[in-house]
Structure 1
Amino acid sequence: MSVIEMLGFGAEGWGGVLLLGALMTVVLTIAALALGAVFGGLIAAAKLSRFRVLRIIGDCYTTVFRGVPELLVIYLFYFGGSALVTSIGQLFGADGFVGVPPFAIGAVAVGMISGAYQAEVYRAAVLAVSRGELEAARAIGMPTLTMARRILIPQVFRFALPGIGNVWQLSLKDSALISVTGLAELLRASQVAAGSTHQYFLFFVAGGALYLAMTGVSNRIFGRAEAYVGRSFKRNFARN
């Protein structure tokens, strides 16, 4: 069988399997980034809090999830989650091992890792906002919610966007580690295709090419988003 046939979309080709794996990778990364935004926002708020206990909690979170290897985090979540679900199932009369959905565990694990990095991005973005603008808004009696909506959140989004782009790329690569749970993402699809055909070099190169393609598209999307946000701020500044 030729290389074109193996990478094609025919009955014996693996092109469709690889593309479905790439789609699963993108969906998993989007879910993880969304969960990470929630975790990151909460942790960033904790690290910026005037309460020392909250700052300690925030520091512990970022230290643990940035310091422990990503693969170990995934193993802990997958096997620890399965053990917890199995124990709960046994309390209700279930027999045997009860597994947890690989996608859900992968999204939560990568999301919490992503959240540790997003927390630092958001914290830095908040600190980058001009204190003078916030003090001026308070001086004229602007309500807190209005100040957050009109001044704080737009500027935090602007300053955080480049960092979020970097976190996206990190999460995209971390999603490959979810293959250890059996989820059919891109790396797992490449492994299955390589093992079935014994063409390991071919399919791992094909998988790497798809990762590079996703990275390139992501860079263009984030680049255009940054340019659009920058133009919007310039227009608003010129009006004011």
Structure 2
Amino acid sequence: MDTVLEYKSILMQGTLVTVSLAVLSLLLSVLLGLLAASLKLSSSLMARRIGNIYVTLVRSVPDLVLMMLIFYGGQALVNHLGGLTGWWDYVDLNQFIAGVLTLGFIFGAYMAETFRGAILAIPAGQHEAAVACGMNRFQVFRLVTWPQMVRHALPGFSNNWLVLVKSTALVSVIGLHDLVWNAVSAGRSTQQLFSFLSAVLIIYLCITAVSDLCLRKLDRRFSAGVERR
């Protein structure tokens, strides 16, 4: 482990990249999840179809394949459009941005199902009562739908977040110097790959433990006054 400690700065840099990637991907996935959930609950048939296509596509294609398609295919598409229009020169897509876009796109679909189920769990009579009290749509969402949706969505949201954290390891295949990339590179150069991967395991466990603690506190906050069964 002495060798691992010598490379601790590199591992910490990789950890910072991994955590930043996970947090930004989570924010994007929440936005896409709310949008997709709204589409799937819409009264418009076209909107529901768009939401269903998005969720089905993500569920059907492996995460690694989507990662490669967005990084390589997306870059080729952007450069092709630039060549046709003449609006920009060659664009080199950043690995970090590609990772955020891919993970956000993937987990946005899972968040959509989580949010949709949470919204459906709220009794319809509460929305009707809020409207009867003179609330507009924004007030109904902020004061009635959102607090209860968060409470119902937290178990699924927590699971999605923990899976997202683990899925950040996928970005190493496109060359992003995250925790896994740095650890594997250091392990190969020192011929102590097992030791470095063990360090990665411990770091991921620490991230998961801190996340679990924060999510439990959030759950207690939004479940205050709710009877546990």
Report if TM-score (shorter chain) is over 0.5: yes
Query: Partner of 1:143 in structure 2?
Result: 136
* 1:52 correspondence with 2:45: yes
Deviation at residue 89 of structure 1 after TM alignment: 4.8
Match of 2:74 among 77, 81, 95: 81
Asked whether the 8 Å contact 1:85–1:99 carries over to 2, the reply is: no
Deviation at residue 69 of structure 1 after TM alignment: 0.4
Alignment deviations for residues 152-172 of structure 1 (CA, whole Å, 9 cap, x no partner)? 111112211222111111111
Query: Partner of 1:175 in structure 2?
Result: 168
Gaps of 5+ in 2: none
Match of 1:225 among 207, 214, 218: 218
Query: Partner of 2:127 in structure 1?
Result: 134
Which amino acid in the other structure matches residue 190 of structure 2?
Answer: T
Moved more, 137-146 or 83-92: 83-92
Deviation at residue 194 of structure 1 after TM alignment: 1.0
**Cα distance in 2 for residues equivalent to 1:47 and 1:93:** 36
Alpha-carbon spacing, 1:198–1:148, altered in 2? closer, same or farther (3 Å): same
Give the number of equivalent residue pairs: 226
Normalising by structure 2, report the TM-score: 0.92
* 1:31 correspondence with 2:24: yes
**Cα distance in 1 for residues equivalent to 2:196 and 2:178:** 14
Query: Partner of 2:94 in structure 1?
Result: 101
Cα RMSD for the two superposed structures:
1.9
Match of 2:118 among 110, 119, 125: 125
User: Could you say what secondary structure the match of 2:92 adopts?
Assistant: coil
Asked whether the 8 Å contact 1:162–1:222 carries over to 2, the reply is: no
Which amino acid in the other structure matches residue 53 of structure 1?
Answer: M
Which amino acid in the other structure matches residue 132 of structure 1?
Answer: G
Query: Partner of 2:4 in structure 1?
Result: 7
Query: Partner of 1:161 in structure 2?
Result: 154
Which amino acid in the other structure matches residue 76 of structure 1?
Answer: L
**Cα distance in 1 for residues equivalent to 2:132 and 2:80:** 57
Asked whether the 8 Å contact 2:4–2:195 carries over to 1, the reply is: no
Which amino acid in the other structure matches residue 173 of structure 2?
Answer: V
Deviation at residue 94 of structure 1 after TM alignment: 8.1
Between the aligned residues of both structures, percent identity stands at 37
Query: Which structure's CA Rg is the greater one?
Result: 1
Query: Partner of 2:109 in structure 1?
Result: 116
Which segments of structure 1 move beyond 3 Å, counting only runs of 4 or more?
Answer: 88-95
Query: Partner of 1:208 in structure 2?
Result: 201
User: Could you say what secondary structure the match of 2:134 adopts?
Assistant: coil
Query: Partner of 2:61 in structure 1?
Result: 68
